[in-house]
């Protein structure tokens, strides 16, 4: 289903939950609504579902306005955060509910249940009650129940929040695969950026009721459009006076410019590990943490603290050691603008032509 | 709320009807009785209340209700404790019997106590030989009040004991506290909110009790006439204003208690 | 120590709860079977029991309907607003704090023959006070909170997500109520209904004031017991009281059963 939202606003009392949100979603896409808790993601989802009505703005499905349409008639599947399974019904009865309400013939219902039980890997669990299932199984029942009436849009509210970390991973790729196979337009809400980046075709970053940026995970990661997105995605260090860092002096020329530096923008090592020492700063290692697959290194350059990763293959560094630090790039912003800048000194100042 | 467009008028009418029923059945009568007692102004209300018999009835009721509540606090706490903490034959039966006073009609309760304490009953005969008069005197009223309010303290204490962690008690023992000390320093404070709210509900019910009391009290004005029976008497003798005055006094007291119970419970939840 | 406490509890239960029950059972048989039978079969007893039965049926039906709906509204309805819902919620409990006699007095003061509404109604041929409608209203007032107080906590606990899920699957309110909400609250409703029946069966103070206790017209089983005692007709009083007590005990057993079902 093609979904379009124009100028959406919603207040709860004094609290502006959603302000002026606009977006379009193409058919068959899997969209992740990502943002901090209480940022308005769930409110947007609930308005799409019709469970909440917008104060102003339009919601269009296939170009048709559906604001006045009750949730029953929107043809949407909804997976709730805690699944909201009917606890007095078996798995099969839960799945059948939406079909019975729509008065499907008995034989067809039976067929559809069998199909969905197969699809979600719940064969043999049809007669169980929700309290007899594990978290992951409940999640899949909720998914099957939402899909049963063949909705054109699937909405998922924090679908993995209540599941242990280990199964969550498995379930994520299962869901991705399932949605690919069905080709159904889907929107899911999450506050976990790994989840959004791993699963979604497109991510919408929502903060304080506003849509900060919409784009593919790669675009969001590499080209953040607002300081919030830059600081929210990945781990980053805010540097108040970016001019202090070697290679970013130009930036200081513009007053009030601040910078965000991600660990993967930073390289740290001994003098012999760098080709261009002139581009590096000298700093002191303040802490190192073993992270299994790599070292997490904290270095201090003057009063700036940066974090970065270092391969286990390289010689180990020690706290207190003097090291060289190369900052490849930084995300810069001031009150009016934001942009990504490469380290100016990284390019050899005196290229030697052979 | 969903198919609003189709059935807006229906659901609006429906809601209003239900809310109207609520207001008319509960709020209106209560406002009515306050209105009635204030309708002739303060002086008349004070005059109605300053009737010696009215005062004596209210004071007597409060006195006896306090005694009954204290008795219930003692035996209720003990019974609640025994029923939760100990496993013994017949426990389930006793636990079910706790609700009996709620289920039995109060008039039947009155009759039962009257027969039991009367001159033909065993207790009555014994009391008569000992020179104590029970039936149609204050002790009988207290017994009736204790009976009808019996479940309150038990039912309020039980859930607290149930949810209490045994480790708290054990921790006290490991720190060398004696049994008595553990009881007074650890267990009793944990039960106290339940005991208090149970006691207040029991007190409020004892103040209001009519059926069980009217049959055993003898209803001698100034001596064994309790407030609810006084009100009944005033209604029978066609003096609704006098009845309303005492009612308002009693009601205000009960509402205060109810509010206090709610307050205590809200504070417990807030913790 | 432990033995002492258990025995003390047994003694208290036996003296306070057991003895009166036994006493009334034996009292009813004091004049043998015929005494009990004539106590029950005399016309005034038959009429009184019929009155009680009628009130029980009417009050239970009305209270169940309105009780369940009000519980739903007080927990769910967004159109009521938080503040108003809190106020209404505390009003629900008020009848618990009102002495039955005062409850009866309220009805008399509001609808009695001397009042505006009462005289208007009686002119059009409807008697409220000293007739069945007044007794029903008084009992409704007294038993009002019972069902609401049983159902509300359950509704709060289950939350509204299951209902929203049903909505998303295309179900309308009526279907949602019967297929999703009702199965969750049914045992609490049953429990509340049993409490209501027990309370209605035994209601005395309010009914006595409102009914005027008129023989063969407004006398109920409990007010008949009262009158028999006042007339020193103890065996007859015992017989009716035993029937009422037996009914209450049966209800109590049923209550225990409903409680265990609800706990599932």
Q: What is the ipTM of this complex?
A: 0.86
pLDDT at A252 over 70: no
CA distances from B57 to A171, B65, C210, C263 (A): 72, 12, 22, 44
Closest CA of chain B from C199, distance in Å:
7
Alpha-carbon distance C230 to C236, whole Å?
Answer: 12
Does the beta-carbon distance from B2 to A71 stay under 8 Å? Answer: yes
pLDDT, chain C, mean = 88
Mean pLDDT of the A59-68 span? 90
Of C142, C115, C126, C256, residue with least CA distance to C209: C142
Alpha-carbon distance A181 to A174, whole Å?
Answer: 11
Q: Is residue B226 part of a domain?
A: yes
Q: Which residues of C touch B235 (CB under 8 A)?
A: 101, 104-105, 108, 209
Query: Confidence band (pLDDT; 50, 70, 90) for A245?
Result: confident
pLDDT tens digit string along A198-213? Answer: 889 999 999 999 999 9
Kindly write down the DSSP assignment for every residue of A12-73, as one continuous string. ETTEEEEEEEEEEE-TT-EEEEE--TTSSHHHHHHHHHTSS--SEEEEEETTEE-TTS-GGG
At which residue do the structure tokens 């599947």 appear?
A77
Does the beta-carbon distance from A71 to B4 stay under 8 Å? Answer: no
pLDDT at A155 over 80: yes
Does the beta-carbon distance from B2 to A68 stay under 8 Å? Answer: no
Q: Which homologous superfamily is C42-263 in?
A: MetI-like (1.10.3720.10)
Give pLDDT, residue B2. 44
Of C7, C34, C8, C5, residue with least CA distance to C235: C34
Give pLDDT, residue A55. 92
What residue numbers bound the domain in which B174 lies?
Answer: 45-270
Coil/strand/helix, residue A234: coil
Does the beta-carbon distance from C169 to A98 stay under 8 Å? Answer: yes
Q: B15-24, B180-189, C41-50, C90-99 — which one is most confidently predicted on average?
A: C41-50
Please say whether the beta carbons of C220 and C207 come within 8 A. Answer: yes
Q: Which residues of C touch A77 (CB under 8 A)?
A: 168
Residue C226: CB partners within 8 Å, gap ≥ 6? B107, B110, B211, B214, B215, C204, C208, C213
pLDDT, chain A, mean = 87
Overall number of domains in chain B: 1
Give pLDDT, residue B1. 42
Its CATH class, for the domain covering A237-346, is mainly beta
CATH tag, A3-225: 3.40.50.300
Relative to beta strand A329-333, strand A258-261 is antiparallel
Which chains share 3+ C-beta pairs under 8 angstroms with C?
A, B
pLDDT at A26 over 80: yes
Give pLDDT, residue C200. 94
Does the beta-carbon distance from B107 to C234 stay under 8 Å? Answer: no
Mean pLDDT of the C34-47 span? 87
Q: Which residues of B touch A49 (CB under 8 A)?
A: none
Relative to beta strand A210-215, strand A304-311 is unpaired
Does the beta-carbon distance from C168 to A146 stay under 8 Å? Answer: yes
pLDDT tens digit string along A77-120? Answer: 999 988 899 989 999 999 999 999 999 999 999 999 999 999 88
Q: Is residue B75 part of a domain?
A: yes
Of C213, C216, C208, C202, residue with least CA distance to C47: C216
Kindly write down the DSSP assignment for every residue of B208-242, as one continuous string. H--HHHHHHS---TTTT--HHHHHHHHHHTT-HHH
**Around C25, how many Cα atoms within 13 Å sit in the side-chain half-sphere?**
10
Q: Is residue B189 part of a domain?
A: yes
The domain limits of chain C are 1-30, 42-263
Q: Is residue B37 part of a domain?
A: no
pLDDT at C231 over 50: yes
Q: Is residue B14 part of a domain?
A: no
Of B244, B225, B227, residue with least CA distance to B235: B244
Of A204, A158, A217, residue with least CA distance to A32: A204
Please say whether the beta carbons of B227 and B250 come within 8 A. Answer: yes
Mean pLDDT of the A247-272 span? 79
The domain limits of chain A are 3-225, 237-346
Residue A329: CB partners within 8 Å, gap ≥ 6? A265, A340, A341, A342, A343
Radius of gyration for the alpha carbons in chain B, expressed in angstroms and rounded: 23
Q: Is residue B17 part of a domain?
A: no
Q: Which residues of B touch A68 (CB under 8 A)?
A: 5
Of C66, C100, C202, nearest to B21 by CB-CB distance is C66
Alpha-carbon distance C115 to C126, whole Å?
Answer: 14
Tokens at residue C116, please? 């505006």
Give A227's DSSP letter.
Answer: H
Of B86, B96, B108, nearest to C244 by CB-CB distance is B108
pLDDT at A325 over 70: yes
CA distances from A235 to A81, A172, A209, A221, A339 (A): 27, 22, 23, 11, 18
Of B15, B27, B115, nearest to C27 by CB-CB distance is B115
Give pLDDT, residue B151. 93
Give pLDDT, residue B4. 44
Long-range contacts from A119-128, C-beta under 8 angstroms, 24+ separation: A119/A144, A119/A147, A119/A178, A120/A144, A120/A178, A122/A91, A125/A91, A126/A90, A126/A91, A126/A92, A127/A90, A127/A91, A127/A92, A128/A90, A128/A91
Alpha-carbon distance C33 to C22, whole Å?
Answer: 16
Closest CA of chain A from B5, distance in Å:
9
- Cβ–Cβ contacts within 10 Å for residue A275, how many? 8
- Spatial strand order of the sheet with A237-239 comes to A237-239, A258-261, A329-333, A338-342
Of A85, A213, A104, A71, residue with least CA distance to A143: A85
Alpha-carbon distance C222 to C205, whole Å?
Answer: 9
The CATH number covering residue B147 comes to 1.10.3720.10
Q: Which residues of B touch A69 (CB under 8 A)?
A: none
Regions of chain B short of the pLDDT cut 70: 1-8, 269-271
Closest CA of chain B from A70, distance in Å:
6
Mean pLDDT of the C153-158 span? 90
Q: Which residues of C touch B78 (CB under 8 A)?
A: 5, 8-9, 12
Query: Confidence band (pLDDT; 50, 70, 90) for C256?
Result: confident
Judge residue B217's burial from the number of C-beta atoms within 10 Å of its C-beta, 0-12 exposed, 13-18 middle, 19 or more buried: buried
Give pLDDT, residue A280. 82
Residue C91: CB partners within 8 Å, gap ≥ 6? B22, B26, B27
At which residue do the structure tokens 């004091």 appear?
C30
Give pLDDT, residue B181. 81
pLDDT at C264 over 70: no
Give pLDDT, residue A349. 52
**Least confident stretch, A271-280, B31-40, B141-150, C149-158:** A271-280
- Spatial strand order of the sheet with A304-311 comes to A266-269, A322-327, A281-290, A294-301, A304-311
Kindly write down the DSSP assignment for every residue of A270-282, as one continuous string. -GGG-S-GGGPEE
Of A61, A130, A146, A48, residue with least CA distance to A97: A146
């Amino acid at each position: 289903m093609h979904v379009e939202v124009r100028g959406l606003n919603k207040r709860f009392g004094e609290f502006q939950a959603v302000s002026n949100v606009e977006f379009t979603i193409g058919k068959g896409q899997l969209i992740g609504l990502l943002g901090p808790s209480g940022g308005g993601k769930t409110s947007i989802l609930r308005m799409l579902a019709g469970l909440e009505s917008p104060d102003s703005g339009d919601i269009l499905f296939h170009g048709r306005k559906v604001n006045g349409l009750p949730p029953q008639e929107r043809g949407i599947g909804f997976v709730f955060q805690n699944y909201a399974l009917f606890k007095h019904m078996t798995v099969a009865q839960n799945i059948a509910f939406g079909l019975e309400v729509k008065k499907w013939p008995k034989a067809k219902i039976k067929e559809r249940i069998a199909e969905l039980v197969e699809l979600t890997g719940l064969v043999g669990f049809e007669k169980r009650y929700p309290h007899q299932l594990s978290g992951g199984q409940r999640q899949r029942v909720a998914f099957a129940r939402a899909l049963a009436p063949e909705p054109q849009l699937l909405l998922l509210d924090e679908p993995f929040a209540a599941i242990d970390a280990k199964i969550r991973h498995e379930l994520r790729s299962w869901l991705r695969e399932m949605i690919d196979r069905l080709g159904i337009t889907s929107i899911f809400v999450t506050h976990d950026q790994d989840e959004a980046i791993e699963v979604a075709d497109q991510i919408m970053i929502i903060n304080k009721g506003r849509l900060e940026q919409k784009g593919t995970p790669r675009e969001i990661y590499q080209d953040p459009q607002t300081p919030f997105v830059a600081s929210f995605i990945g781990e980053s260090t805010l540097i108040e006076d970016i001019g202090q860092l070697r290679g970013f002096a130009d930036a200081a020329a513009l007053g009030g410019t601040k910078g965000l530096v991600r660990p993967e923008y930073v390289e740290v090592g001994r003098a012999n590990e760098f080709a261009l020492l002139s581009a590096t700063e000298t700093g002191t290692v303040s802490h190192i943490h073993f992270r299994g697959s790599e070292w997490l290194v904290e270095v201090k350059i003057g009063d700036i603290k940066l974090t970065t990763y270092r391969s286990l293959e390289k010689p180990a560094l020690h706290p207190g050691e003097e090291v060289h630090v190369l900052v490849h790039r930084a995300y810069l912003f001031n009150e009016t603008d934001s942009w990504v800048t490469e380290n100016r000194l990284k390019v050899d100042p005196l290229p030697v032509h052979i | 709320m969903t198919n609003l467009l189709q059935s807006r008028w229906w659901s609006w009418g429906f809601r209003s009807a239900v809310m109207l029923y609520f207001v008319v059945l509960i709020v209106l009568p209560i406002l009515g009785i306050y209105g009635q007692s204030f309708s002739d102004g303060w002086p008349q209300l004070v005059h109605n209340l300053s009737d010696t018999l009215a005062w004596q009835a209210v004071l007597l009721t409060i006195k006896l209700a306090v005694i009954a509540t204290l008795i219930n606090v003692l035996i209720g706490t003990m019974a609640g404790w025994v029923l939760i903490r100990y496993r013994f034959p017949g426990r389930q039966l006793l636990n079910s019997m706790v609700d009996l006073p709620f289920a039995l009609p109060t008039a039947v309760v009155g009759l039962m106590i009257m027969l039991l304490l009367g001159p033909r009953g065993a207790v009555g005969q014994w009391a008569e030989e000992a020179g104590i008069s029970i039936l149609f005197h204050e002790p009988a009223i207290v017994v009736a009040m204790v009976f009808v309010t019996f479940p309150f303290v038990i039912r309020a204490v039980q859930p607290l004991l149930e949810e209490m962690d045994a480790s708290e008690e054990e921790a006290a023992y490991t720190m060398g506290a004696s049994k008595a000390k553990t009881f007074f320093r650890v267990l009793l404070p944990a039960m106290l909110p339940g005991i208090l709210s149970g006691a207040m509900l029991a007190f409020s019910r004892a103040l209001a009790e009519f059926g069980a009391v009217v049959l055993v009290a003898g209803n001698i004005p100034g001596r064994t006439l309790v407030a609810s029976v006084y009100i009944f008497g005033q209604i029978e003798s066609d003096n609704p204003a006098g009845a309303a005055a005492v009612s308002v006094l009693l009601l205000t007291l009960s509402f205060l208690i109810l509010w206090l119970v709610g307050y205590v419970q809200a504070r417990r939840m807030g913790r | 120590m432990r033995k002492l406490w258990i025995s003390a509890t047994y003694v208290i239960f036996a003296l306070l709860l057991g003895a009166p029950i036994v006493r009334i059972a034996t009292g009813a048989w004091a004049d043998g079977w015929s005494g009990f039978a004539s106590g029950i079969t005399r016309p005034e007893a038959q009429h009184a029991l019929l009155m009680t039965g009628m009130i029980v049926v009417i009050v239970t039906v009305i209270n169940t309907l309105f009780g369940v709906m009000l519980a739903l509204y007080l927990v769910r309805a967004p159109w009521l607003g938080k503040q108003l819902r809190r106020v209404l919620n505390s009003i629900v409990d008020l009848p618990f704090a009102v002495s039955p006699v005062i409850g009866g007095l309220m009805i008399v003061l509001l609808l009695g023959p001397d009042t505006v509404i009462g005289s208007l109604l009686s002119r059009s041929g409807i008697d409220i006070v000293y007739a069945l409608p007044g007794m029903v209203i008084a009992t409704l007032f007294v038993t009002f909170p019972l069902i609401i107080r049983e159902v509300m906590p359950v509704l709060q606990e289950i939350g509204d997500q299951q209902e929203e899920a049903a909505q998303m699957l295309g179900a309308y309110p009526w279907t949602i109520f019967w297929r999703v909400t009702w199965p969750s609250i049914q045992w609490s409703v049953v429990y509340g209904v049993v409490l209501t029946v027990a309370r209605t069966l035994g209601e005395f103070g309010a009914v006595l004031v409102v009914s005027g206790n008129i023989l063969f017209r407004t006398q109920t089983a409990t007010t008949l017991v009262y009158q028999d005692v006042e007339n020193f007709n103890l065996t007859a009083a015992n017989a009716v009281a035993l029937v009422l007590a037996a009914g209450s005990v049966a209800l109590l057993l049923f209550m225990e059963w409903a409680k265990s079902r609800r706990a599932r």
